[in-house]
């Protein structure tokens, strides 16, 4: 699981176009490094994603490069659009290697539902820049029901945005 916020929590992904562009960049970079996304949520000042690392080279060690390239490309695009060359956009990211199924499922639910958690939308399935609608379209109904049963209030995820 990866979590990152903008520097000083400043909203920079403030339009549908910016949210879509960043989400597309996340998809491109994860595909480039062969990470399989399981959940994602892109908000105006932070993002989360859960992914499965590739089993062969580049393996999980590619995460640092994936995130660095995503941040570099998006910061350059945002700074150019805002006429703010050199502005630091992203703050440090956090990653967790999840090894227990219950931890994985709780974090998966947390990321799928993050926009609703922050009160951006009543239902995360209605938020275009997260994976909840994709989950409901593609996953087995029993799995979605199982996932919805997980509590996320005791998770220790850096998410005070």
Q: Is 104 exposed, middle or buried (0-12, 13-18, 19+ CB in 10 A)?
A: middle
What separation in angstroms does the CA of 37 have from each of 28, 29, 31, 136?
11, 11, 9, 15
Domains of the chain: 2-148 (3.30.70.1290)
Mean pLDDT score across all residues of the chain? 92
- Please name every residue paired with 54 in a beta bridge, in sequence order, or none if there are none: none
Alpha helices in 83-157 (DSSP H): 101-112, 114-117, 132-138, 141-148
pLDDT digit string, tens, across residues 63-107: 999 999 999 999 999 999 999 989 999 998 999 888 889 889 999
**Tokens 């562009």 found at:** 21
> Which pTM was predicted?
0.92
Q: Torsion angle of alpha carbons 109, 114, 119, 120, nearest 10°?
A: -130
pLDDT digit string, tens, across residues 129-145: 999 999 999 999 999 99
pLDDT of residue 158: 64
pLDDT of residue 151: 83
**Mean pLDDT within 45-64:** 86
């Amino acid at each position: 699981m990866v979590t990152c916020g903008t520097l000083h929590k400043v909203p920079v992904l403030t339009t549908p176009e910016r949210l879509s562009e960043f989400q597309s960049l996340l998809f491109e970079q994860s595909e480039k490094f062969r990470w399989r996304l399981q959940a994602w949520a892109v908000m105006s000042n932070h993002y989360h994603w859960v992914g499965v690392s590739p089993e062969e080279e580049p393996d999980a060690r590619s995460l640092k490069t994936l995130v660095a390239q995503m941040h570099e490309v998006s910061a350059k695009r945002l700074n150019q659009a805002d006429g703010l060359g050199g502005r630091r956009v992203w703050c440090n990211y956090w990653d967790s290697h999840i090894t227990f199924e219950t931890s994985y499922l709780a974090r998966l639910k947390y990321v799928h539902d993050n926009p609703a958690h922050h009160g951006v939308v009543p239902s995360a399935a209605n938020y275009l820049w997260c994976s909840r609608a994709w989950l409901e379209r593609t996953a087995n109904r029993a799995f979605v029901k199982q996932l919805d049963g997980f509590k996320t209030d005791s998770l220790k995820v850096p998410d005070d945005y």
